[in-house]
Amino acid sequence: MTWKFELVYGPNGRALGGLAWDGKSMLVSDAMDLKILSFTEGAKEPAVFRKWTNRVNGIAFGPGGVLYGCQEGSRRVIEMKPDGSSVVTTTVLDGAQYNHPYNATIDKKGRVWFSDRLHAVLASGPQVFPYLPHQSVLRMTLMGRPHTEWHVERLTYDTKSPRGVAVSPDEKTLYVAETDTVPGGVQELRAYPILADGTLGPCTVLHSFGADYRGVHRGIDGICVGKDGHIFACAGWSRSGPGATVYVFNPDGRIAESHAIPEGTPLNCAFGGADLSTLYVTTREGHVYRTKTGYTGHLLYKAA
């Protein structure tokens, strides 16, 4: 079907990133303004869902309606509680501080999968903690009896710049947007089999982006999955390649559909709306678009 992108908000001049459908509204991180905005259908203006987030970017609801946030400005993953308080979950992998957690998704077991990247903007406070020697997808699992301790694992050993992460509805595959926009950088949509022991097998590449004299064709940043297994991906820009696009991939990597967005550089996307068929798309320039899609999103958790 034809997608008709409706401009819901912006552009406000700042990259708008993480999205999470809370059951009634779409939450959107305005990381550099230290806020999470809330978009409700019919409302003229977004409401402020959370202030002073210190650059929370990727957000995702988990079991019990807990909202997890990748707090780039503090190099950690936090839990934003319904009472308004925020608690730190984890900050380190094997004793060494994270880079800047970027995007997160939560699986049926409540495990938090997130990409951990370098960021041009430094985190708060004294720069006394070195970065990890790698940029990887990590996973937090609540362990122990009672379930109060987070166990953190490194999952990818072949990523240099992981961005969007999503787990397939059957939870057999982890999709990673590996996008390194430097010349010669790898720009791939990857599918890693999730093995029985929880680790990942070698990935297959579902799609790859090239380059020409105008520069690299910008690869994928944010991704999400539909309930039938499709992967929805934000990629492209105006300076090279086919332009700013939201792709719909079949699980085997075949492009099912692609849609140009009206303006801006697409950054992230998520399904919302009463029937979960509305795709919200954010841009680097600070737009929020939405469109009916003919697909249904894969939603495990929402606000309590």
Cβ atoms of 72 and 123 within 8 Å: the answer is yes
Q: Does 200 bind other proteins (CB under 8 A)?
A: no
Report cis status (omega within 30 of 0) of the bond before 146.
Answer: yes
Q: Does 75 bind other proteins (CB under 8 A)?
A: yes
Q: Does 87 bind other proteins (CB under 8 A)?
A: yes
* Distance separating alpha carbons of residues 139 and 201, to the nearest angstrom: 15
Of the candidate residues 12, 38, 54, 250, the single one contacting other proteins (CB under 8 A): 54
Q: Does 240 bind other proteins (CB under 8 A)?
A: no
Choose the binding region for other proteins from 85-93, 154-162, 225-233, 276-284 (rule: CB under 8 A).
Answer: 85-93
Binders of other proteins among 94-133, rule CB under 8 A? 97, 123-126, 128-129
Q: Cβ atoms within 10 A of the Cβ of 84, count?
A: 8
Q: Does 27 bind other proteins (CB under 8 A)?
A: no
Q: Does 32 bind other proteins (CB under 8 A)?
A: no
Q: Does 29 bind other proteins (CB under 8 A)?
A: no
Q: Which is nearer to other proteins, 91 or 159 (CB)?
A: 91
Strands 266-272 and 255-260: unpaired
Q: Cβ atoms within 10 A of the Cβ of 89, count?
A: 18
Q: Does 42 bind other proteins (CB under 8 A)?
A: no
Give me Rg for the CA atoms of the chain.
18
Length of the chain equals 304
| Dihedral-angle region of residue 181 (phi above 0 means left; psi in -120 to 50 means alpha; beta otherwise) | alpha
**Which residues here bind other proteins, judged by CB under 8 A?**
51-52, 54, 73-76, 78, 80, 84-88, 91, 97, 123-126, 128-129
